[in-house]
């Protein structure tokens, strides 16, 4: 297994947790880290403007536990100056060890303002953002990485240009979700595009993302594409033990069998307890409902019990529901590969009016008044 380095950090395996809004908060990262310490677990994405202005929700999102190393945060925005100010602020305060730049989010509330997946369509703007980010982080020894998609559409592919610009501007690594923004989460990830990026972006590590549901998928992706590591998103929803499996598989060791329902129930309870400590029980248990559905995916628990898990409102109620399950129950054959999280697409990509008329310009969409996106 090849060694992956991001700045001065060398993870125990070339595996990164993808930032996912509303998911990869401190409790979720703790659950993943307990199964596989020493990897890169990225916090939720935050908006640069909200960081600069001290938005209260964004401040709460930028929470790390005392034992997290490295402390990884993803930042997005479309204004190079604002990006630089945000990264300088969090680096100067000693709050992060690694910053990932989001150039791949297809959500309308992000791309409509020219952020996320919209940025790579304008290579000069992309370069200015990356240059500002690296310049702000470098004095503090904080590496900048970038995660992006193939492009907005099949007719406007930008991944090779994006990777080249990231390398030229001092990026420490790049990661490709091998779908277009229009494709959203539909269909099959185009792993061949990861191989193409790896062939032209060999100066810095290239990581692949998309359709890794089991550890064997990561082994296969790295073999087929030559990429230096993998980024895990939806595949770990309700399955934080996937990171343990990845470490074993990528080190050539046998992967443990999937947990029984009783073992999964113990993990659920641990996760819910951490979330209660993080958000307070009322908010936490409402938030945990989606996690409960993901944990139960692939286990034959019956529709009525599954429905009750989806309405859980207290930790005590969760304990009672777990007690009603058969702890010896195994996941169904192929249950690990049942899709979790977003599956929709294709979508109509929302962009600022006239955004694609002049792709070489440096016009910055006005994201200064949309702090509600981060805490969004």
Q: Report, as residue numbers or ranges, the catalytic residues.
A: 105
What is the rounded CA–CA span in Å between residue 272 and residue 292?
9
Collapsing DSSP states into helix, strand and coil, what is residue 261? helix
Contact 255, 264 (CB under 8 A): no
Question: Distances in Å between the alpha carbon of 333 and those of 248, 299, 300?
Answer: 21, 10, 11
What is the rounded CA–CA span in Å between residue 31 and residue 286?
18
Contacts of residue 224, defined as CB under 8 A and 6 or more positions apart, other chains included, come to 191, 195
Runs of H (alpha helix) within 187-332: 191-200, 215-225, 242-250, 261-279, 281-296, 303-309, 315-324
Provide the pairing of β-strand 156-157 with 151-153. antiparallel
Burial of 238 (0-12, 13-18, 19+ CB in 10 A): buried
What is the rounded CA–CA span in Å between residue 98 and residue 164?
20
What is the rounded CA–CA span in Å between residue 132 and residue 169?
9
Per-residue burial over 317-328, b if 16 or more Cβ lie within 10 Å, else e, is ebeebbeebeee
Contact 133, 51 (CB under 8 A): no
Runs of H (alpha helix) within 1-144: 26-35, 48-52, 56-61, 80-92, 108-111, 123-137
């Amino acid at each position: 297994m090849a060694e992956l380095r991001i700045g001065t950090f060398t993870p125990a395996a070339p595996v990164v947790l993808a930032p996912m809004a509303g998911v990869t908060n401190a409790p979720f990262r703790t659950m993943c880290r307990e199964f596989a310490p020493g990897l890169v677990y990225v916090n939720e994405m935050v908006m640069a403007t909200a960081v600069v202005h001290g938005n209260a929700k964004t401040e709460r999102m930028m929470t790390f536990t005392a034992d997290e190393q490295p402390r990884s945060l993803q930042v997005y925005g479309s204004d190079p100056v604002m990006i630089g100010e945000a990264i300088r602020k969090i680096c100067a305060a000693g709050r992060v060890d690694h910053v990932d730049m989001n150039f791949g989010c297809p959500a309308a509330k992000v791309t409509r303002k020219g952020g996320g997946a919209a940025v790579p369509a304008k290579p000069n703007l992309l370069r200015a953002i990356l240059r500002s980010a690296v310049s702000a982080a470098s004095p503090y020894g904080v590496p900048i990485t970038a995660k992006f998609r193939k492009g907005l559409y099949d007719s406007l592919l930008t991944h090779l240009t994006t990777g080249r610009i990231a390398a030229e501007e001092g990026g420490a690594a790049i990661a490709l979700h091998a779908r277009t923004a229009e494709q959203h989460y539909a269909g099959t990830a185009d792993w061949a595009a990861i191989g193409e990026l790896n062939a032209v972006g060999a100066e810095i590590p290239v990581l692949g993302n998309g359709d890794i549901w089991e550890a064997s998928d990561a082994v296969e992706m790295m073999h087929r594409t030559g990429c230096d590591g993998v980024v895990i998103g939806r595949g770990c929803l309700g399955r934080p033990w996937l990171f343990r499996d990845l470490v074993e598989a990528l080190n050539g060791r046998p992967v443990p069998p999937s947990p029984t329902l009783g073992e999964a129930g113990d993990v659920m309870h641990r996760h819910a307890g951490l979330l209660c400590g993080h958000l307070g029980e009322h908010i936490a248990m409402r938030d945990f409902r989606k996690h409960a559905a993901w944990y139960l995916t692939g286990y034959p628990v019956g529709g009525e019990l599954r429905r009750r898990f989806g309405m859980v409102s207290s930790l005590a109620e969760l304990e009672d529901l777990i007690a009603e399950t058969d702890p010896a129950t195994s996941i169904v054959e192929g249950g690990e590969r049942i899709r979790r999280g977003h599956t929709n697409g294709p979508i109509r990509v929302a962009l600022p009016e006239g955004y694609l008329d002049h792709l070489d310009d440096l016009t910055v969409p006005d994201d200064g008044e949309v702090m509600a996106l981060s805490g969004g």
